[in-house]
Amino acid sequence: MGARDPDFEEWVREHFAALGPLEIKRMFGGAGVYRQGIIFALLDDGVVWLKGDETNIPALEAAGSRQFTYPGKDGVEMKLGYWSLPDSATDDADEAADWGRGAFEVALRKAAAKKPKKK
């Protein structure tokens, strides 16, 4: 992930304001975006990456989103379950908030599905 950009983080807070308070935390040179303590998006090099699953990936793909990838060991392309915010939503806060809500719902389902850790 690339360097953090405080101006970009402020834009994200303003653009996703309809979702309520967000927390942005440093993460591998980029940042994670949290709502109610649950991560639903990543920020990297000026791109908002939204958490995806079978419920929202088809719509994200149809809107032109691409999957977050990075080079792994031995040149193998690694993929994460995050998809870029569609270009049409970069100038439309209402649309961005709709995509953000969908990503948050994915994050809630994934958090609920995690088994409690054994002590």
pLDDT tens-digit profile, the chain (119 residues): 445 677 899 999 999 999 999 999 998 778 999 999 999 999 998 999 999 999 999 999 999 999 999 888 888 999 999 999 999 999 999 999 999 999 999 999 998 888 666 65
3-34: per-residue pLDDT in tens?
567 789 999 999 999 999 999 999 877 899 99
Q: Give which of 62, 85, 82 is closest to 15, Cα–Cα.
A: 85
Q: How many CB atoms lie within 10 A of CB 91?
A: 9
pLDDT at 1: 45
pLDDT at 28: 79
* CB contact at 8 A, 64 and 86: yes
pLDDT at 3: 52
pLDDT at 114: 80
